[in-house]
Every structure is written in structure tokens, then in C-alpha cells.
Chain A
Amino acid sequence: DQQVKQNSPSLSVQEGRISILNCDYTNSMFDYFLWYKKYPAEGPTFLISISSIKDKNEDGRFTVFLNKSAKHLSLHIVPSQPGDSAVYFCAASGETSGSRLTFGEGTQLTVNP
């Protein structure tokens, strides 16, 4: 049972344009959501998070949007840079899961110069 899903395995955008990565979840008990970036053979690095009491959180070029009614979140990167090319994982946690993270499958973002 995949509780966190990233339906797009890959995304390709031009440098300078906006990258939009999507994530859907099914567990209504999730109340905290995170995005991680992962380069090959490295551990994930934290990018940005959002609590369920908010619908938007912004940090520099990264903005995360949360639509609780649709159980959907998205990560916007603007402007996209070639160094942003990596696999992006969304993750969710909730009190009932002991703050364990449940990850999506990941989306490979490629930003072309």
C-alpha cells in the first residue's frame, strides 16, 4: 500500500523555467510533509517542509504548496538551475507513525542548460 505517491518518475525542464514536482498521499493522519533532494550514491538532503496547518511555505527558490482536501502537495523550483538536477523525494509523517517518514518513489528532475 503506497501511502505517498509521486506519479511522475521523471521531469525535464529548461534552465530558468519553473520545475513543479507533485506528490499525493492517502493517509489523512499525515500532518507534516517534507521534500528531500538526492544525488546518486548520496543520502537525501532536506530541502523544505510544511506543516498541515499551512498551505504554503517558501524558502528562496523553493516553495511547497499543500492542498489538504486533495491530499496533494507540490514543490516549485524557480528559476530552475542545472545543479537542481537530482531525484526529489516527498515524505510524510504523522503523530501516529511516531514521526517515521513515509517516502514517495521519487522524481528524477533534469534541468537542461
Chain B
Amino acid sequence: GAVVSQHPSRVICKSGTSVKIECRSLDFQATTMFWYRQFPKQSLMLMATSNEGSKATYEQGVEKDKFLINHASLTLSTLTVTSAHPEDSSFYICSGRTRAGTEAFFGQGTRLTVV
């Protein structure tokens, strides 16, 4: 299957700082990138959907000024958690999909811990 490389895999940051998470599609062009968050023992929750070159569409309850998404190219999307707080500690996963594809390929995930 196609590969989505997500970095970093783990990050610990201080409260109030910003953290950037990168997702790269290595062998396909991700026209659409989805960003998910998973809290312990809960389902993957979609945060936002971004199409290359367009502004991201955020799900209800997700603050767009806090979770900045950039999808400037067909192979790179970034999620920046701004002014992180301990409640933002979670597992963040990106998922890329081609224009014609019905399957989404996932990154390895990023474990964010805000202290």
C-alpha cells in the first residue's frame, strides 16, 4: 500500500508552546489530507479535512486558530498545535487520499504530551 510518513512520532512540549506535525505522502499524491485525534480508549475523531491548495475544513468543536493546517503541496501537510495545553495531549494521526481513491492511507501517528 501507499506510504504516509508522519513526524515526529512522539513529542513532549511545555504548556503555551507550539508544536508542528508533518505528514508526507511518499509514493502518491495526497489530494486530500485528513487529520484525526484519538484519546485513550476512544475512536479516531476527525478534526479537519484539507485539500491541496485550499483552506482546511474543520469539524464542529475544533478550533481552527488553535489547530493550524497547511496543505501547500500534494505530498506535504502540516498540523500546528498552537499555544498547547495539557488537554491537547493526545494521539494525532494524518491520513492521505488520492483524488480518485476511496481508501485513506495513514501516517504512523504522533503522541503529543503537553506538560
* Chain A contacts to B: CB under 8 angstroms: 9, 32, 34, 36, 41-46, 49, 89, 93, 98-106
Q: Given A99-B102, A100-B49, 11 more contacts at CB 8 Å? A: A9-B41, A41-B10, A43-B4, A43-B95, A43-B107, A44-B44, A45-B106, A49-B102, A99-B104, A100-B34, A100-B46
15 contacts between A and B (CB under 8 A): A32-B102, A36-B106, A41-B9, A41-B91, A41-B109, A41-B111, A43-B93, A43-B109, A99-B97, A100-B49, A101-B44, A101-B46, A102-B46, A104-B43, A106-B43
**Once bound together, how far apart are the Cα atoms of A32 and B10, in whole Å?**
32
Contact assessment for B103 and A46 in the assembled complex, using a CB-CB cutoff below 8 Å: yes
User: For chain A, what secondary structure do more than half of its interface residues adopt (helix, strand, loop), or is it mixed?
Assistant: loop
Complex interface: chain B residues within 8 A of A41 (CB): 9-10, 91, 109, 111
**Identity of the chain A residue whose Cβ is nearest the Cβ of B59 in the assembled complex:** A100
**Residues of B bordering A, CB below 8 Å:** 1, 4, 6, 9-10, 32, 34, 41-46, 49, 91, 93, 95, 97, 101-109, 111
SS class of chain B's interface: helix, strand, loop or mixed?
Answer: strand
Q: A43-B108, A45-B106, A49-B103 are in contact. Are A105 and B34 (CB under 8 A)?
A: no
Query: Which of A43, A45, A99 has most B Cβ within 10 Å?
Result: A43
